[in-house]
Amino acid sequence: MRSKKIYRRVLILLLIFNIIGMVLFIYFKIIKKVPDEIKILVGKEESFDFNMPIKANIVTEDIGVISVNDLKVPDNQISIDMKKPFTLGSTKTGKYNINLKLFGLFNFKNISLDVIENIELIPCGIPIGIYVETDGILVLGSGRITGEDGLNYEPINNKLKSGDYILEINGEKVKDKEDVIEEIQNSNGDDIKLLVRRNKEKITVRVTPVKATDGKYKIGAWIRDDTQGIGTLTFTSTKGDFGALGHGITDIDTGLLMDISEGSVYDADIMSIIRGKEGEPGELIGMIRQSKKYKIGRIDQNTLQGIFGTIDNNYNWLLKQEPLDIGLKQEVQKGPAKILCTIQDKVEEFDIQIESIDISNSNHSKGIVIRITDERLLDMTGGIVQGMSGSPIIQNNKIIGAVTHVFIQDSTKGYGTFIENMVNNLE
């Protein structure tokens, strides 16, 4: 009798675990499939097919502005069954809130419906040289110092961290590494007070410089104040803005997005190509024409979605090329597409295949998986190589995204970001 009770309890527990597992599976599947933000163009019906057991309510005080399945709904609570295909449209730009309910019962999440004007961008695909200066002096790490007395010291241990930015020393603003070195030497070994930005907060720390065996005072910090590299210009807008890379500039040592004070993009020439192969990404080797004559524009932002700024007058011809409409996430399809990039001496189109699409916002720079199918590009580079980041992706005569990363184990494949992620930084 007792064994039967134990058996029943075990079955009940297994049933409970199965139910919990099923709910968690549905939850994470929905999280991955439903984005945090949906964009639609004003005056145009957009089609969606999530095939999820969710009811959605759109909250708006503008009665009759939103239409569902081509029908205007005269209510400020518009209900949508997301298990079936549906269309959304709006006669007015603005932001609206969509409340999702799992199985139509439980509040699940809120997503933003952003109704925007149609945007035209000029796809570029030209190589650029990038130079940025950090906003403060970036701390990369710490090291030991052998003092004059032969002992080892770590002055910044538990005081400065990798990723900190030194802004001031003893109340004096520091602009570059040379300023930091000079202030440390002027201390003569007395404590110095550092104003530091850490995770967007400012803190003050005191450090005691150590006189090293070479007679110079040091604090044992590895620091950086600028960086440069080669990438690809994704687009310019008809208003004179530009976007490039499709991902942010991160420090090679810390892996963190760099805070920049200023930066520029320059014309660049591709000099040679290191072909990609399994386990080793290839690279475009370029020469940056770092002079005022070849300055393409000024960098204003370094974000997770790329770098953005304004075009200089020297390169106004970039604004006179033929623009394309942007393609929103829901318009991107698996199948053939093209990328624009410069491998030799001119911008060319190369064939690719879009293999998977993730419209969730979990990773802004990896929403699209692409595979290079163009034999010319495969022969020259082996696939996607470093320096091609930012190459615009074109499908159905619309600019839909930009190349961001290469698969280390398979250079024929890589990631792309949706163009609407980049456009957010122009708004």
Comma-separated ranges of CATH 2.60.40 domains in the chain: 33-116
| Per-residue DSSP letter, 238 | T
Pick the CATH number of 120-131+227-426 from 2.60.120.10, 3.40.640.10, 2.40.10.10, 1.10.10.10: 2.40.10.10
Q: Of 179, 253, 259, 374, which is the active-site residue?
A: 374
| Residues in CB range of 401: below 8 A, 6 or more apart | 246, 332, 367, 368, 392, 393, 416, 417, 418, 419
pTM to 2 decimal places: 0.86
Fold for the domain defined by 144-219: Pdz3 Domain (2.30.42)
| Per-residue DSSP letter, 294 | G
**Tokens standing for residue 25:** 């599976």
365 is catalytic: no
What pLDDT was estimated at residue 48? 82
Comma-separated ranges of CATH 2.40.10.10 domains in the chain: 120-131+227-426
Comma-separated ranges of CATH 2.30.42.10 domains in the chain: 144-219
pLDDT in tens, the chain (427 residues): 566 667 677 777 777 877 777 766 666 666 667 788 888 888 888 888 878 777 777 766 555 567 776 666 555 566 777 788 888 888 888 888 877 776 666 677 778 888 888 899 999 999 999 999 999 999 999 889 998 888 899 999 989 999 999 999 999 999 999 999 999 999 988 999 999 999 889 999 999 999 999 999 999 999 999 899 999 999 999 889 999 999 999 888 788 899 999 999 999 999 998 988 888 888 999 899 988 899 999 999 999 999 999 999 888 888 888 999 999 998 999 999 999 999 988 999 999 999 999 887 666 788 999 999 999 999 999 999 999 999 999 999 999 999 999 998 999 999 999 999 999 888 6
Task: Using CB atoms within 10 Å of the CB of residue 22, give its burial: 0 to 12 exposed, 13 to 18 middle, 19+ buried.
Answer: exposed
The number of angstroms, rounded, from the C-alpha of 28 to the middle of its chain's C-alpha atoms is: 23
Task: Using DSSP bridges, classify how beta strands 77-81 and 335-342 pair: parallel, antiparallel or unpaired.
Answer: unpaired
Amino acid at 108: F
Q: Of 142, 164, 225, 247, which is the active-site residue?
A: 247
- At the top level of CATH, the class of 33-116 is mainly beta
Q: Of 142, 264, 365, 389, which is the active-site residue?
A: 389
356 is catalytic: no
| Residues in CB range of 266: below 8 A, 6 or more apart | 128, 129, 130, 131, 288, 289, 290, 291, 294, 295, 296
| Residues in CB range of 16: below 8 A, 6 or more apart | none
379 is catalytic: no
Say if CB 365 and CB 246 are below 8 A apart.
yes
Q: How distant, in Å, are the alpha carbons of 142, 302, 402 from that of 349?
A: 46, 27, 13
